[in-house]
Chain A
């Protein structure tokens, strides 16, 4: 206490204040230091992770191609309620803008976008664009629709006009619905896409199916190995642990292509089998689901083994003996006493493997057939081949949401506080 004789109270308070401010100053320095230390990591995460993902996800709900190419048309179509045909004045604006856009060659992405809504739109719009200057410019309002129909009879179908109005953006659920094989009909109701374009629900279900199967196989194979690792004497378990970790030190691509070498028709396994006379024709081991399972399980197995092993390592080995001394058979002791204590590790392992499986791309692409491609394959396909970034972003968003949903379910039933990642 810093109280002095003449005014003890005020001196005490003053002393107290300086003490508090000294504490604050000291704490502030520490906080600044802490922030400075995490700043590089924070910036790195923002630049390399949060911003790219956020901007990609933005693409899935954006619908700007048409309004960028035809801004005046979009403005004119706003007055239209979407029933029948747009007012002739709006059509005239559209015709004018087509002429300008054709000259400036700015119609490309808009035609692609409109073609997503109705196939055939692209060629129709191109044709119309080419003839716009001659056939559409300056046509009076009462003849404009006929002029359009004269270029392509499909303009007589209100659905095409409606498609332009629906594509005005700036936000839309068009790609999100597409990623679920759905679209809006003329009344704005959500309906199935034509079956020839409906693949993504199947792909999504297939992704889940492969992930569940891979997780189960990894669990069945990994549990005994983890148990062995946890119970063997240290010298031998270390060797085994190195064998488990060995695949981590090889690139994913190398491991996957190694499986191709092993599993292909003229591969090691088929050649050996035929040479030994076990089978006569090469077995189909690759470019099918079997190959995908083999390669994915091989790559993901350590992610199952390591968390379970680390939890098992912490389980008191005397518990099994105690259970046996209390009258339980070895198996019962294992199921009732040992296994429940492994749950945090099993939870972590299955969650890791499952979520990593959901996003698998290279392995199924290399060793799977066309019917084994997972959602990531179609994300890449839409990004790099068909250049449909909106759909790619929507598929990514669905994958991300799916992952979050599983995190949530997992947290509900197992709880992250019980998670042990090793």
Chain B
């Protein structure tokens, strides 16, 4: 991907803490789970590996932690190749999906484990354990067993344990997957704050795109063993580089068509229904190539005033779904009957009624012409 290359700092930059170079991984010798991965992780950043299951994101994390060996390529941590470094010598903190707290030890003993492994003095251990527990607001829970804690509290202990020995790099493998929605959102903010206050580098794996958008400095979207796009949350949402990213992050209306004209970054696309749409040329194959158009539901106007939109079509309202703060309007437009428009509460002066026809418009800059997907 071109975007990956753009984000890569110049060679030898001290800015990077981890570098993957041409890394490949196969488990069975037939299918590559990770295909030619090149990735620089910047010091102090919160990087999320986002993707559907089987996309290679967890394998990437496990290779970095040392639990899997790359079939090809190299991983460099702090300028040192990790090829012959066993997991226990990498000094990387890790938070596991199921917490992996040791049930036969108390919370304090769990936190002491990495410190004892480093032969730290007893009083220094106690100071660090105390500080780590206070950081996750569990100061009074040192004597409890993990089994006596709630899921959210266990998650905090796991977090404290991964941070207590002051690692430069912390890996988190879907750490919030087992929590309920409300707690998950609360923990997202908490982890984000801890990351900001400690300045530690975090590599976070999730399949939840809203979690990724909330927490990350940068997001690497994985699919089919490759990074599809590596960018900040804003850029990823507003400027997806290909159909997969546009589809995976946020909601998305799609049209399939053929490029008819191209002038710089503008292009005209003929849909299969015959309609002609003006779009922003992002990732197309030139005139005559197939493309898929992507428009966010909130970038669409109902009954737009003349001149505000360069794409205006007539649509039939198929369904209205009241969502409280907004209404989702599903319309049939240009041969696509699954086209969704988000109308904020009180924003529309048009009376919406199922079965009626309205005019719908969007600007060509909001309509991105991507690969055929």
The answer, among A324, A325, A332, A337, for a CB contact under 8 Å with B93, is A325
B98 touches A316 (CB 8 A): yes
Instruction: Say if the beta carbon of B87 comes within 8 Å of chain A.
Output: yes
The answer, among A319, A328, A330, A332, for a CB contact under 8 Å with B100, is A319
Question: A327 — which chain B residues lie within 8 A by C-beta?
Answer: 88-89, 91, 114, 117-118, 165
Instruction: Say if the beta carbon of A323 comes within 8 Å of chain B.
Output: yes
B104 touches A318 (CB 8 A): no
Give the residue name and chain of the B residue nearest to A315 (CB): B103
Q: A340-B104, A341-B104 are in contact. Are A328 and B113 (CB under 8 A)?
A: yes
Question: B100 — which chain A residues lie within 8 A by C-beta?
Answer: 316, 318-319, 321-322
A337 touches B165 (CB 8 A): no
Instruction: Say if the beta carbon of B102 comes within 8 Å of chain A.
Output: yes
Give the residue name and chain of the A residue nearest to B103 (CB): A341
Question: B91 — which chain A residues lie within 8 A by C-beta?
Answer: 327
Question: A333 — which chain B residues lie within 8 A by C-beta?
Answer: 88
Chain B 79-101 interface 0/1 with A at a Cβ cutoff of 8 Å (1 = within):
00000001111111110111011
B329 CB to closest chain A CB (Å) equals 46
Which residues of chain B from 96 to 128 have any CB-CB distance to chain A below 8 Å in the complex? Answer: 96-98, 100-104, 113-114, 117-118
Instruction: Say if the beta carbon of A336 comes within 8 Å of chain B.
Output: yes
Instruction: Say if the beta carbon of B67 comes within 8 Å of chain A.
Output: yes
The answer, among B88, B161, B165, for a CB contact under 8 Å with A329, is B88
Question: A336 — which chain B residues lie within 8 A by C-beta?
Answer: 113
Instruction: Say if the beta carbon of A326 comes within 8 Å of chain B.
Output: yes
Question: B96 — which chain A residues lie within 8 A by C-beta?
Answer: 318, 321-322
Give A289 to B264 CA distance when docked, in angstroms. Answer: 93
B98 touches A318 (CB 8 A): yes
Instruction: Say if the beta carbon of B315 comes within 8 Å of chain A.
Output: no
Which residues of chain B from 319 to 348 have any CB-CB distance to chain A below 8 Å in the complex? Answer: none
Instruction: Say if the beta carbon of B65 comes within 8 Å of chain A.
Output: yes
Give the residue name and chain of the A residue nearest to B118 (CB): A327
Give the residue name and chain of the A residue nearest to B65 (CB): A325
Question: B165 — which chain A residues lie within 8 A by C-beta?
Answer: 326-327
Question: B101 — which chain A residues lie within 8 A by C-beta?
Answer: 322
A315 CB to closest chain B CB (Å) equals 9
Question: A340 — which chain B residues lie within 8 A by C-beta?
Answer: 104
A324 touches B88 (CB 8 A): yes
Give A422 to B130 CA distance when docked, in angstroms. Answer: 39
Give A337 to B90 CA distance when docked, in angstroms. Answer: 19
B98 touches A321 (CB 8 A): no
| Residues of B in contact, count (CB < 8 Å) | 28
Question: B171 — which chain A residues lie within 8 A by C-beta?
Answer: 325
B134 CB to closest chain A CB (Å) equals 20
Question: B117 — which chain A residues lie within 8 A by C-beta?
Answer: 326-328, 332
Give A329 to B116 CA distance when docked, in angstroms. Answer: 12
Which residues of chain A from 277 to 332 have any CB-CB distance to chain B below 8 Å in the complex? Answer: 316, 318-319, 321-330, 332
Question: B102 — which chain A residues lie within 8 A by C-beta?
Answer: 319, 322-323, 337, 341
Question: A321 — which chain B residues lie within 8 A by C-beta?
Answer: 65, 67, 87, 94, 96, 100
Give A323 to B66 CA distance when docked, in angstroms. Answer: 13
Chain B 140-183 interface 0/1 with A at a Cβ cutoff of 8 Å (1 = within):
00000000000000000000011001000001000000000000
Give A330 to B66 CA distance when docked, in angstroms. Answer: 13
Give A329 to B87 CA distance when docked, in angstroms. Answer: 8
The answer, among A318, A319, A326, for a CB contact under 8 Å with B114, is A326
Which residues of chain A from 330 to 351 have any CB-CB distance to chain B below 8 Å in the complex? Answer: 330, 332-333, 336-337, 340-341
A328 touches B67 (CB 8 A): no
Question: A329 — which chain B residues lie within 8 A by C-beta?
Answer: 86, 88
A313 CB to closest chain B CB (Å) equals 15
Give A210 to B12 CA distance when docked, in angstroms. Answer: 67
Give the residue name and chain of the B residue nearest to A333 (CB): B88
Question: A318 — which chain B residues lie within 8 A by C-beta?
Answer: 96-98, 100
Question: B113 — which chain A residues lie within 8 A by C-beta?
Answer: 323, 326, 328, 336-337
Of A316, A322, A336, A341, most buried by chain B (CB within 10 Å of CB) is A322
The answer, among B94, B104, B118, for a CB contact under 8 Å with A325, is B94
Give the residue name and chain of the B residue nearest to A326 (CB): B114
Give A56 to B153 CA distance when docked, in angstroms. Answer: 58
Question: B97 — which chain A residues lie within 8 A by C-beta?
Answer: 318
Chain B 267-284 interface 0/1 with A at a Cβ cutoff of 8 Å (1 = within):
000000000000000000
Of A323, A326, A332, most buried by chain B (CB within 10 Å of CB) is A326
B288 CB to closest chain A CB (Å) equals 51
Give A328 to B91 CA distance when docked, in angstroms. Answer: 10
Give the residue name and chain of the B residue nearest to A337 (CB): B102
Q: A336-B113, A341-B103 are in contact. Are A325 and B98 (CB under 8 A)?
A: no
A325 touches B103 (CB 8 A): no
Which residues of chain A from 33 to 87 have any CB-CB distance to chain B below 8 Å in the complex? Answer: none
Give A330 to B67 CA distance when docked, in angstroms. Answer: 12
A312 CB to closest chain B CB (Å) equals 14
Question: A332 — which chain B residues lie within 8 A by C-beta?
Answer: 117
Give A337 to B89 CA distance when docked, in angstroms. Answer: 18
Give A330 to B87 CA distance when docked, in angstroms. Answer: 9
Give A1 to B165 CA distance when docked, in angstroms. Answer: 63
Give A325 to B100 CA distance when docked, in angstroms. Answer: 11
Question: B93 — which chain A residues lie within 8 A by C-beta?
Answer: 325-326
Give A319 to B114 CA distance when docked, in angstroms. Answer: 13
Give A88 to B373 CA distance when docked, in angstroms. Answer: 121
Question: B161 — which chain A residues lie within 8 A by C-beta?
Answer: 326
B104 CB to closest chain A CB (Å) equals 5
A109 CB to closest chain B CB (Å) equals 59
The answer, among A316, A319, A324, A337, for a CB contact under 8 Å with B87, is A324
A27 CB to closest chain B CB (Å) equals 34
Of B88, B94, B103, most buried by chain A (CB within 10 Å of CB) is B88
Give A69 to B12 CA distance when docked, in angstroms. Answer: 106
B113 CB to closest chain A CB (Å) equals 5
Give the residue name and chain of the A residue nearest to B109 (CB): A336
Give A41 to B103 CA distance when docked, in angstroms. Answer: 39
Give A332 to B114 CA distance when docked, in angstroms. Answer: 12
Can you name 22 A-B residue pairings with CB atoms under 8 Å?
A316-B98, A318-B100, A319-B100, A321-B65, A321-B87, A321-B100, A324-B87, A325-B65, A325-B88, A325-B90, A325-B94, A325-B162, A325-B171, A326-B93, A326-B114, A326-B161, A327-B91, A328-B113, A330-B86, A330-B88, A337-B113, A341-B103
**Interface residue ranges, A against B (CB under 8 Å):** 316, 318-319, 321-330, 332-333, 336-337, 340-341
**Which 8 pairs from chain A and chain B are nearest by CB?**
A322-B100, A327-B117, A326-B114, A325-B94, A324-B87, A318-B100, A328-B117, A340-B104
Known: A318-B97, A325-B66, A325-B171. 15 other contacts (CB 8 A): A318-B98, A321-B87, A321-B96, A324-B67, A324-B86, A325-B87, A325-B94, A326-B88, A326-B117, A326-B161, A327-B89, A328-B88, A329-B88, A330-B86, A333-B88
